[in-house]
Amino acid sequence: MNITGNTILITGGGSGIGRGLAEALQALGNQVVIAGRRKAALEETVAANPGMKFLTLDIEDRMAIRSFATRVASEFPTLNVLINNAGIMRPEDLLAQQHDLADAEAIIATNLLGPIRLTAALLPLLRKQAHSTIINVTSGLAFVPLAHTPTYNATKAAIHSYTLSLRYQLRKSTTEVLEIIPPYVQTDLMDGAEDPRAMPLKDYLAETIELLKTQPTPQEICVERVRGLRFAAENGNFDAVFQGLNTARPDGH
């Protein structure tokens, strides 16, 4: 991936890792467009970063995604990087789950169906560019699940698998497919912003951007702190890592 001179769309760009990536990538000389549900957060982010643009998007709404893609193609015809970052994470007690499975369905719609639908809607535009990149943000929990958040883990594992298939199907094209695999980072996701056990967001972003600058860019962007989860199965210590992750605290953290 060329790290500068792009037109980049980042979902979930109003806070957390999404906002951090947006600010870092804009500073490197890219036109950045952020998208999300919370207009106030988007407005605050672009106000703090002159030149950044925003569009509102309810990633759970399939019809909204279609109209959104049409608007993106009209307003940002040079779009060549899509970062599927938007996601939600909620604890679930599978022994006392609500009958309508509202939390599980919302997580699936946001974390799994959202990126798949948005990628499908924007892929024709991306493929028109001389070079383009799709980046899916997954999680270390795609590889070693936190039992406290079962549907979140499952959606991230599914997006990892989807990313592999998408990359293979686009292997003969000029569109590359990357995966960012964060560890536990200090963000508002699951109220981790002040948790000293989480990786500081500033440190995470700095290491991630350095990996994105690498040529050729690695297919998987894994900071050192997430490698224990990402490669637990390959390293033959999955059971130990799983037990350690899930017995550290009642909530699994």
Identify the bridge partners of residue 9 per DSSP, sorted by sequence position.
33, 82
Query: Is 1 a member of any domain?
Result: no
The rounded distance, in Å, linking the Cα atoms of 198 and 184 is 5
Q: Which positions are catalytic?
A: 152
Query: Is 252 a member of any domain?
Result: no
Question: Helix (H, G, I), strand (E, B), or coil: what is residue 134?
Answer: strand
User: Which contiguous run of DSSP H or E holds residue 103?
Assistant: helix 102-108
Contact status, residue 170 vs residue 123, Cβ threshold 8 Å: no
Query: Is 130 a member of any domain?
Result: yes
pLDDT per residue of the chain (253 residues) written in tens, 0 to 9: 999 999 999 999 999 999 999 999 999 999 999 999 999 999 999 999 999 999 999 999 999 999 999 999 999 999 999 999 999 999 999 999 778 899 999 999 999 999 999 999 999 999 999 999 999 999 999 999 999 999 999 999 999 999 999 999 999 999 999 999 999 999 988 777 788 889 999 999 999 999 999 999 999 999 999 999 999 999 999 999 999 999 975 454 4
User: What is the domain count for the chain?
Assistant: 1
Enclosing domain of residue 218 = 7-247
Task: Please name which of 171, 169, 186, 134 lies closest in space to residue 11, comparing C-alpha atoms.
Answer: 134
Query: Is 2 a member of any domain?
Result: no
Determine phi and psi for 218, rounding to 5 degrees.
Answer: -60, 145
Query: Is 253 a member of any domain?
Result: no
What pLDDT was estimated at residue 6? Answer: 98
The rounded distance, in Å, linking the Cα atoms of 217 and 202 is 21
Query: Is 181 a member of any domain?
Result: yes
Q: Look up residue 249 and give its two tokens.
A: 């605290």
Query: Is 21 a member of any domain?
Result: yes
Q: What CATH number is associated with residue 223?
A: 3.40.50.720
How far apart are the two ends of the chain, measured CA to CA in Å? Answer: 34
Q: Look up residue 144 and give its two tokens.
A: 């070693």
pTM for the structure as a whole: 0.96
What pLDDT was estimated at residue 160? Answer: 98
Alpha helical stretches, state H, 112-198: 114-128, 150-169
